[in-house]
Amino acid sequence: MERIYSLKVIKRPEAYGLELFEETTKRRVERIWGNSMMSIMDHILEAIKKSGYAPSSLTKRRRKPFNLKEEEAVRIGLLFKAVKPLRKYTRIDKISSAVKRMEREEVYYWFSKCTSRTDSQRNCKAFRIMEAEE
């Protein structure tokens, strides 16, 4: 059974952010904003496009969530989890490139590790170390 994910625009005082939400379990995967979000915007726009939306429909005024295809949501969910705490653009770029190159199964594996109820922080750190030599 394919899980249902939505990407919602959230209001922030200085700009806007994004929230990936798993509708199947009624659980937020991750929120992201600021430089971390802007650094992976190409992935976000690609996920929106592959899910049947125009990339230009992502604006800070958007109220309706984007319903994403599962694989696209898992890819950007992994990115959200991995890059959110980072500040160095070289590390963000390395992780971004690694996720782009990954096969579907590898993305699902790391996503499941980084979103597990136990050890998710440790697993995400391991992923960042492996891909960006954090």
Q: Which long-range contacts (CB under 8 A, 24 or more apart) does 100-103 make?
A: 100/43
- Band (pLDDT 50/70/90 cuts) for residue 72 is very high
Q: In the predicted model, is pLDDT for residue 73 greater than 70?
A: yes
Query: Could you give the C-alpha distances from 110 to 16, 68, 73, 86, 92, in angstroms and in order?
Result: 27, 19, 13, 18, 16
Domain boundaries, the chain: 5-132
d(CA 56, CA 54): 5
Whole-prediction pTM value? 0.91
Residues 48-71: tens digit of each pLDDT: 999 999 999 999 889 999 999 999
Residues 77-126: tens digit of each pLDDT: 999 999 998 888 999 999 999 999 999 999 999 999 999 888 888 999 99
